């Protein structure tokens, strides 16, 4: 974990949480819990505005899960960076594996989104990760390098967050092992330093993929892990609290 920085705990709510549920969730996070980690809630776009005020008061960051790269226009169904900001969001997930696999998002589109987010003052949280075949065949270093290099052309090292989420670990209940996370995130850090020089050392690196109370302590203790991106275990305040209680 990076010195003098709080451990990042970032629930990605995916397509869960009505406005009422999101408000109840935020309401039941007490201030000491909110203070213990850098808490970032990636809410459905519809719920950002509903939780913006209370999260701001509690020092909790709110973000969106996707965005389009244009500022405005006839892009039915899309939302822009200025819209996210106006609703009260400061961060945005880009290139989540489900966006890549279910919605065909490419590294080129990821790059357009990351640059647009930075241009408009949003912090992009860029997800990268390999499929199981790529892990077993040993091709994962190449895949991750490609996602970083292509996804981050023309991008500044700050504001930027990277999440390593092995696709096979997402939603499977089976996180990557401590050794896999240590080795792979060390590799990612080296690629970021090649890409950005010294500034690459300061880009927060999150682990995601079945992070939960049962494995939070051992994964959070890995040197190269600055935080977690959490799906399922981030949908209930109890499990979120159990995770936050174990992070450094």
Residues marked active site are found at 96, 165
In the bound state with ligand PGA, the residue whose beta carbon lies nearer, of 153 and 217, is 217
17 part of the interface to ligand PGA, by CB under 6 A: no
Strand-pair partners of 93:
125
What is the pairing mode between strands 205-208 and 61-64? Answer: unpaired
Query: Which residue number places its CB atom closest to ligand PGA?
Result: 231
Euclidean distance between CA atoms 82 and 119, whole angstroms: 10
211 part of the interface to ligand PGA, by CB under 6 A: yes
- Give 247's Cβ-side CA count (13 Å radius): 31
Residue 202 CB-density burial (10 A; 0-12 exposed, 13-18 middle, 19+ buried): middle
152 part of the interface to ligand PGA, by CB under 6 A: no
Euclidean distance between CA atoms 41 and 32, whole angstroms: 16
Residues 21-50 as x/- pattern, contact with ligand PGA by CB under 6 A: ------------------------------
Least distance in Å: CB of 102 to ligand PGA? Answer: 12
Among 1, 8, 9, 12, binds ligand PGA (CB under 6 A): 12
In the bound state with ligand PGA, the residue whose beta carbon lies nearer, of 196 and 219, is 219
Closest to 48 (Cα-Cα) out of 98, 86, 75, 78: 86
Helix (H) or strand (E) holding 39: strand 38-42
215 part of the interface to ligand PGA, by CB under 6 A: no
Distance of CA 28 to the CA centre of its chain: 22
Among 128, 209, 215, 247, binds ligand PGA (CB under 6 A): 209
Residues 179-208 that bind ligand PGA (CB under 6 A): 208
Provide the binding-site residues for ligand PGA, judged by CB under 6 A: 12, 165, 170-171, 208-211, 229-233
């Amino acid at each position: 974990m990076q010195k003098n920085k709080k451990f990042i705990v970032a629930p990605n709510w995916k397509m869960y949480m009505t406005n009422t549920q999101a408000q109840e969730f935020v309401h039941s996070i007490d201030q000491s819990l909110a203070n213990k980690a850098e808490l970032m809630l990636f809410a459905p776009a519809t719920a950002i505005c509903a939780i913006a005020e209370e999260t701001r008061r509690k020092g909790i960051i709110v973000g969106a899960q996707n965005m389009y790269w244009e500022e405005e226009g006839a892009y039915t169904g899309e939302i822009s960076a200025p819209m996210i900001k106006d609703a009260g969001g400061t961060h945005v997930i880009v290139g989540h594996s489900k966006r890549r696999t279910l919605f065909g998002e490419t590294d080129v589109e990821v790059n357009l989104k990351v640059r647009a987010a930075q241009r408009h003052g949003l912090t992009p949280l860029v997800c990268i990760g390999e499929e199981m075949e790529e892990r077993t065949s040993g091709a994962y270093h190449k895949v991750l390098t490609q996602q970083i290099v292509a996804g981050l052309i023309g991008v500044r090292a700050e504001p930027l967050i990277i999440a390593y989420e092995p696709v096979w670990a997402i939603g499977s209940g089976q996180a990557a092992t401590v050794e896999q996370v240590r080795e792979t995130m060390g590799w990612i850090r080296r690629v970021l330093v090649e890409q950005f020089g010294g500034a690459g050392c300061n880009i927060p690196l999150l682990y995601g993929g079945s992070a939960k109370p049962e494995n939070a302590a051992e994964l959070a203790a890995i040197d190269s892990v600055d935080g977690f991106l959490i799906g399922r275990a981030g949908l209930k305040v109890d499990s979120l609290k159990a995770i936050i209680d174990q992070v450094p």
